[in-house]
Amino acid sequence: MNASYPNQPTTYSLPAVDIPDDVRKSLHPWIAEFIGLTPDEATKSLHDRWKNINRPSLVSLRDTLSEFEVRGIVDYEAGGLIYAVRRNAKNDDVGNSFFLPAPIELGTLELRLSSVSLGDNEAVREFLVYFAGLAEDTTTAGQIVYLDSPWPTFTDSWDGSIKGFEEWENSLLLYSARNGCQLLLRMDGQVAWWVLQEHLVRQQADGFDEWIKQFSEHRKLAWPYDPYRALDSARWRS
């Protein structure tokens, strides 16, 4: 069954052979390859995309997300998405499902990384090769940065009232949470939350590999990802 609701993109359940011609033409070739596949075949295809991952933190995230089954194709912006649901989940609530677009072309990715002074950070580069655009929803944020041009950075529109702003100015807005908070990635690889509701920045991880492992653990839960639902084991720093 296909799902379409007001202000939401249409999801075509696999094998998705009923996708209209105009939608097919808009899909990225990698997304279009899922048309005609069963969920098992589509999940294997996704795992094939991830098979060369060997960085320990990314292996952890890959293993977490490999517990999900690809079940549909989403007509979303330019290129589309695949839609996956946690196996044996009772529902597809946020945290029990994810969306993923096609990989960013490597030349484009390198230009984006250089523009935010992250071109030499191999952990960030590898993460975005495989997981750029990873999203928990398509209408209320909850998405890793993808094809924005230019990539968004942390600037002060609050008249100097953000505690900790100076240390994190111009950091990449890596992730936009559904509650309005932003995950910041600084050029040295450290990660923090811009906590919108409190007008402050709180550090989340000393390095990017550490953050990937935290994110992997959180994605085992059926909860949105935001600073108020970060795992207790990831201790906050003021």
Give 96-109 pLDDT, tens digit per residue: 999 999 999 999 99
Task: Please report the pLDDT score of residue 4 as a whole number.
Answer: 40
Whole-number Å distance between alpha carbons of 169 and 165: 6
Closest CA to 97 of 222, 230, 7: 222
Task: Please report the pLDDT score of residue 51 as a whole number.
Answer: 96
**Domain residue spans in the chain?**
11-145+208-218
Task: Please report the pLDDT score of residue 1 as a whole number.
Answer: 38
Those residues of the chain that have pLDDT short of 50 are 1-6, 231, 233, 236-238
Task: Please report the pLDDT score of residue 94 as a whole number.
Answer: 87
Task: Please report the pLDDT score of residue 233 as a whole number.
Answer: 44
User: Tokens at residue 179, please?
Assistant: 């509650």
Give 21-36 pLDDT, tens digit per residue: 999 999 999 999 999 9
CA 108 to each of CA 125, 147, 148, 149, 224: distance values in angstroms, whole numbers, following the listed order: 12, 9, 11, 10, 29
pTM of the entire predicted model: 0.91
